Amino acid sequence: MAQGSDRSNRVLVREAARALDAFKYEVAKELGIDHQQIRGGYWGDLSSRDCGAVGGHMVRRMIQLAEQSLAQADNRPGMPPVR
């Protein structure tokens, strides 16, 4: 989606914006995407396929981290099991 065309995907926690941006670059590097094409935070020179791969991997990793966090919370004494 073009920048500025939809504001529904705004960052809810301002402090997270930098971390998410760094995470995006980390995932792109892991996928072997040429980061030289990304200039000043502009990803428009990358293919939709590459951008989608980065976003997809970010979501998978965030879900994995959330599941691990929930599993750890479930194992705390005095906590009811998550069903």
Q: Is residue 66 part of a domain?
A: yes
Specify the pLDDT at position 74.
74
- Please tell me the total count of domains within the chain: 1
Q: Is residue 60 part of a domain?
A: yes
Q: Is residue 82 part of a domain?
A: no
Range of the domain at 61: 16-74
Quick one: which H or E segment has residue 60?
A: helix 48-74
Specify the pLDDT at position 82.
58
Q: Is residue 80 part of a domain?
A: no
Closest listed residue to residue 2, CA positions, set 42, 53, 55:
42
Q: Is residue 2 part of a domain?
A: no
Q: Which two tokens stand for residue 21?
A: 């941006």
Q: Is residue 32 part of a domain?
A: yes
> What is the chain's alpha carbon radius of gyration, rounded to the nearest angstrom?
16
> pLDDT digit of tens for each residue in the chain (83 aa)?
456 555 677 778 888 888 999 999 999 999 999 888 888 889 999 999 999 999 999 999 999 999 999 988 877 776 666 56
Q: Is residue 51 part of a domain?
A: yes
Q: Which two tokens stand for residue 36?
A: 């030289």
Q: Is residue 4 part of a domain?
A: no
